[in-house]
Structure 1
Amino acid sequence: MNLALVFQSGDYVLMSVFLVLVLMSIITWTVIVVRALKLRRAKKGNAEVQKLIWNANTLEEAVAQVRDVDSPISDLTLEAVKAHENYCQYKDTKIAAAVPLSEYLVRQIRNSMSQIMRRFDGGLTALASIGATAPFIGLFGTVWGIYHALINISESGQMSIAAVAGPIGEALVATAAGLFVAIPAVLAYNFLVRGNKTLSQDMDAYAHDLHVQLLNSKD
């Protein structure tokens, strides 16, 4: 398989297909590396923060220890404590605090969790789109290459097996390139979605404990 021959014999459409697939591959691997590292740091930071919080003597001490730690659970804790303080301070004046403390905290914690988990959705749409469209883009390049190969063969008058198999075989490279781009994108999408789901489950379990802790804390 001679890729140089593909670019030498291909026209601007076939070359554009390969350039698009190369761009898709770069985007895919960039998203994979960035998001995988971010997910790993988040899980590592969450484990560290939970250890600090549950080993603290008071809620104030726990908040002080995790304030400078960059992790989703740290952000969730700070937002929940802030919501608790606002409720206690403005419960007689703010309309938002007209509901019981438990329901108010549940609402604020859920909103904070949604905002935090939204940070980990970046790139997933790109991976899903690339995984779904890359094989078809490669197939389009193959069809286009085969069409022009047959045109050139008919014009040259050479109808032997060797004359047909060579150009068509080179045109099939586009389909292989499309699959080469799509398969990592699909696998990475499934991996990151699963990672986000486990992260969300861990945060949800922690949120229940934090909710109980805040309800039983002193003003």
Structure 2
Amino acid sequence: MNLALVFQSGDFVLISVFLLMVLMSIVTWSVIVLRVIKLRGAKQGNAAAKQAVMGAASLDEAAQKVQGIESPVSTLTTEAVRAYRNYRQGGAKTLADALPLNEYLVSQIRSSMSQTMRQFDGGMTALASIGATAPFIGLFGTVWGIYHALINISESGQMSIAAVAGPIGEALVATAAGLFVAIPAVLAYNFLNRSNKTISQDLDAFAHDLHVRLLNQKD
């Protein structure tokens, strides 16, 4: 199958469909590579940050050790320790002043977790959209190509198998291109979504332990 014939004999709509498929494929693989790198770095950073926190003699030492580590755990630790200090020093001049320390820390930790996990949502909408729409865009290109192929055949008056199979075969490539783009996007979305949930569960477990440590911290 010579794809160059599609661009040589295809009209503006069919060529646009193939160019859109190429763009979607580039976006898909770019998101996959970037998100996998980020997830791997987050997992390694979380492991190092947990080890630093568990090996620290005090919260101040733990906060200092995780400053040089870029990970959700280090960010959560820094924000939680800062919230604890602000509460003890009376620096929270908001409605949080009326909350007990337990509820105040829970609110601050949950807010920090939500903000931290948002950075892992980048590209997920694009993958979901590409996985859902690419097959239909490819099917549209196939239908459009078959329609124009049949129009050209009827105008030329050639009804042989060779005259029909060639143009229709080239048009069917659009459907294959749509599937070629959609399948990696769907698989990547499921994999990244599962990985995000794993990080979120690990972060939630660590937040629970950190919350207990903060409550039992001696001033």
The amino acid of 2:153's aligned partner reads: I
Residue aligning to 2:73: 73
Q: 1:116 aligned to 2:150?
A: no
SS of equivalent residue, structure 2 residue 159: coil
What is the aligned length? 219
**Mapping for residues 142-161 of structure 1, pairs under 5 Å:** 142-161=142-161
**Mapping for residues 8-157 of structure 1, pairs under 5 Å:** 8-90=8-90, 94-157=94-157
Q: 1:95 offset after TM fit, Å? A: 3.0
CA distance in 2, matches of 1:195, 1:68: 24
* Matched-pair contact (CA < 8 Å) for 2:86–2:92: no
CA distance in 1, matches of 2:118, 2:91: 29
Q: 1:162 offset after TM fit, Å? A: 1.6
The amino acid of 1:123's aligned partner reads: G
In angstroms, what is the RMSD of aligned CA positions?
A: 1.1
Residue aligning to 1:201: 201
Residue aligning to 1:215: 215
Residues 37 and 152 (structure 1 numbering): CA distance in 2 closer, same or farther, change over 3 Å?
same
* Matched-pair contact (CA < 8 Å) for 2:76–2:112: yes
Q: Percent identity?
A: 74
Residue aligning to 1:190: 190
CA distance in 2, matches of 1:92, 1:124: 36
Q: 1:92 offset after TM fit, Å? A: 8.8
Q: 1:60 offset after TM fit, Å? A: 1.3
* Matched-pair contact (CA < 8 Å) for 2:134–2:181: yes
Residues 71 and 93 (structure 1 numbering): CA distance in 2 closer, same or farther, change over 3 Å?
closer
The amino acid of 2:8's aligned partner reads: Q
Residues 137 and 72 (structure 1 numbering): CA distance in 2 closer, same or farther, change over 3 Å?
same
CA distance in 2, matches of 1:151, 1:92: 74
CA distance in 2, matches of 1:3, 1:30: 24
Q: With the length of structure 2 as denominator, give the TM-score of the two structures.
A: 0.98
* Matched-pair contact (CA < 8 Å) for 1:49–1:69: yes
Give per-residue Cα distances to partners, 1:91-147, cap 9 Å, x unaligned. Answer: 796431211101110110001000000110010000000000000000010001000
CA distance in 2, matches of 1:15, 1:197: 39
Residue aligning to 1:180: 180
Give per-residue Cα distances to partners, 1:40-60, cap 9 Å, x unaligned. Answer: 100110001001110111221
